[in-house]
Amino acid sequence: MITPVLWLVIFGGGLGLSLSATGGFNYTQFLLPGIIAQTLLFTAMFLGISVIWDRQFGFMKEILVAPIGRVSIFAGKMFGVGTAAIIQGLIVIILGFLIGVPLTLYSISLVIPLMIIITIGLTCIGLIIASIMTSLESFGTIVTFVNLPMFFLSGALFPVTNLPPWIQLIFYLNPLTYGVDALRTVMISGWHSIIPIQYDLLIICLFDVAMVAIGTYFFSKKQ
């Protein structure tokens, strides 16, 4: 949890003083939803490594001989990893509250189900990569190659609206952008998003469905 603290305190308190394009909101308040999304992304994707660990230590063979389908095994991995990611996301919310970010019980009640649907697709990405990779080193390299661009091109650290149109296009192709935008909409009272939250939710859910379908396919085909 050191990383989210550093982002919130150093970026929120230091870099925030030099930014004025956050719609009149405190930068730490603006940053918190992005850090929650970062925590979900990094945790969900890196914990996919458990598939490789299970394979290398022979535990995966014991699971595969059980009288259950591989789709059920994939779903169990997905919910297990997703639960760990959501717990860490909740800890970040508590940290935000402790450093003075204005949060209400109503906004938190909306954030939790939103975190769940965001985590589903992100978890599947990590499990897909782990299903394809055969070594821990390869997994770490590919995951870093995927999650860093997703994070930095999601609008988590700065508003997307002030960027050139061609760069905005890249941001809007990133599914995490819609997760960050939805979190910001429910967590910041009065936040005016250029994307209606119903479209954010629609895109996130479509992304989840696609990732679950791809993930179960790769997992079921893996020897």
DSSP structure string for 125-143:
HHHHHHHH--SHHHHHHHH
59 CB-side CA count, 13 A: 7
| pLDDT tens, residue order, the chain (223 aa) | 666 666 666 555 555 544 555 556 777 888 899 999 999 999 998 888 887 877 777 777 777 777 777 788 888 888 998 999 999 999 999 988 888 888 888 989 999 999 999 999 999 998 888 888 877 778 888 888 888 889 888 888 888 877 788 888 888 999 999 999 999 999 988 787 878 999 999 999 999 999 999 988 887 776 5
80 CB-side CA count, 13 A: 13
**DSSP assignment letter at 209:** H
Contact predicate 171/155, CB 8 Å: yes
